[in-house]
Amino acid sequence: DTMTNLAEFEPESGLVPPGIYTETDLYQQELERVFGRSWLFLAHESQLPTKGSFVQTYMAEDPVLVVRQRDGSVAAFLNQCRHRGMRLCRSDQGVAKAFTCSYHGWGYDLAGSLVSVPELERGYRNDIDKSRWGATKVPRLARYKGLIFGTWSADAPEFEEYLGDMAYFLDAIVDRYPGGIEFVGGASKWVIECNWKFAAEQFASDMYHVNVSHASAAIALFEDPDMQKLGVVPPGLDGRQSTRNGHGSGAAFAPEFLAFETPGSPYTDYLTENRDDIVARIGEERAIRTTLSHNTIFPNFSWLEGRNTMRVWHPRGPGEMEVWSWAFVPAGASAEAKRASKRATEFTFSPAGVLESDDGENWPEIQTVLRGWKARQNAMNFQMGLGFEEYRGWGMPGMTNDTISETNARGFFRRWLDLMQGRSWQEIAESDQGRLTEFLAQKGE
């Protein structure tokens, strides 16, 4: 039997069985046990500017509509007509008064309740209980500083508890600018032939690849030949990574405020003008230390500070994912500064971006190698920095390590495994706490 036995997988060892990237049975379990129980990113408030504004998105493979209600609240429901299962709204986004299924015409209101059925009298003798045939609601939504998350789970912790220490890093983005952030333009969407975990884990944990994988990007990014040789992230910079609850954030610490921003860009001008405000909001140290950071909120929502992209890795089978990526900008910036920021995002992280395309090479190559039965026998190595973790090192929250380490990946896989093994949220919280207590005892703290 070559199927992966999850009972033998111990993320803390740093050895990862490749079957978790390839096996269809595990993938089907993942949809239910990981995506069905976690908080998933749905939309940013700026995508829903008016009453009736809606966007279509996915919670893993489930299509979902996120809709601004007449009272300003937000509702989300499965984008599935309850008559015969047709996608009940076929637009990506827009403004609606109601949703009418294009198959037989059942009509739903902005909250997803069934309100009209054609041929009601002739077809149903006026006898159908509309209240039983509304679209399936996403039962729990969380609105966090402009970001909207949803979960199908009744017993997942409240979103802020789920976020835990990761709030320090998320707030570094969403609290950074006066007026917060907004998404500009639509989502860039593309398919990559690889498992979603390659991307989610890399954005949680992997600064190690940057100067190797993105060596050619440095040539496109910089005109100065010395800068080109140094790479995208100047080597030797101090930096840390931090994980808790399966989330991960890592950064190379900028030497000073605006060290990595393009001089002369209207976006850089905006940051310079607002420096005091930014420092007052999130503190100087955090502002500097997070400007070149990669981040994942478990399971599949990631962002890059400094390149201003947020994205979701939607799973599409064990060997395929669909990336949905947005450029975000400071909501209070001038149109010119927003344009400059968006252009910088697109130049680096978009389907044709000079950094994005390198990542899009690596992951499918691994996926292809894993088609081999022999290749699938070899555990992957996530052992970097093992034993050198520090709890709350560098004055940062969470379990920390050097930015060149794989502590965050091990944390990501621990949460993934706990969910895959069907542990309750209560059990997960207790075993997390137990591991931390043991860790601190070993360190004599």
Task: Give the strand pairing for 309-315 and 301-305.
Answer: antiparallel
Burial 283-314 (b: 16+ CB within 10 A, else e): eeebbbbbbbbbbbbbbbbbbbbbbbbbbbbb
Catalytic residue among 359, 402, 418, 432: 359
Q: Which region, judged by CB under 6 A, interacts with ligand FES, from 40-48, 99-107, 275-283, 397-405?
A: 99-107
Residue from 104, 130, 275, 281 in contact with ligand FES (CB under 6 A)? 104
Residue from 6, 15, 31, 86 in contact with ligand FES (CB under 6 A)? 86
CB of 86 to ligand FES, least distance (A): 4
DSSP code of residue 137: B
Between 111 and 215, name the residue whose CB sits nearer to ligand FES: 111
DSSP code of residue 253: P
CB 111 within 8 Å of CB 73? no
Residue from 3, 12, 13, 84 in contact with ligand FES (CB under 6 A)? 84
CB of 97 to ligand FES, least distance (A): 18
Between 129 and 445, name the residue whose CB sits nearer to ligand FES: 129
State the Cα–Cα distance between residues 351 and 349, nearest whole angstrom: 7
Task: Give the strand pairing for 390-391 and 399-402.
Answer: antiparallel
Distance of CA 265 to the CA centre of its chain: 28
CB of 118 to ligand FES, least distance (A): 8
Catalytic residue among 92, 209, 238, 277: 209
Task: Give the strand pairing for 74-78 and 62-68.
Answer: antiparallel
Instruction: Mark whether 294 is an active-site residue.
Output: no
Radius of gyration of the chain (CA): 23
Between 122 and 374, name the residue whose CB sits nearer to ligand FES: 122
Instruction: Mark whether 44 is an active-site residue.
Output: no
Phi and psi, residue 432, nearest 5°: -60, -45
Per CB under 6 A, which of residues 105..134 are in contact with ligand FES?
A: 105-106
Instruction: Mark whether 418 is an active-site residue.
Output: no
CB of 109 to ligand FES, least distance (A): 15
State the Cα–Cα distance between residues 389 and 334, nearest whole angstrom: 42
What is the C-alpha end-to-end distance of the chain, expressed in Å? 44
Residue from 49, 97, 103, 437 in contact with ligand FES (CB under 6 A)? 103
Q: Which region, judged by CB under 6 A, interacts with ligand FES, from 18-26, 65-73, 83-91, 267-275?
A: 83-91
State the Cα–Cα distance between residues 208 and 29, nearest whole angstrom: 30
Check binding of 83 to ligand FES (CB under 6 A): yes
Catalytic residues, by residue number, are 104, 206, 209, 214, 359
Name the residues that contact ligand FES, by CB under 6 A: 81, 83-84, 86, 101, 103-106
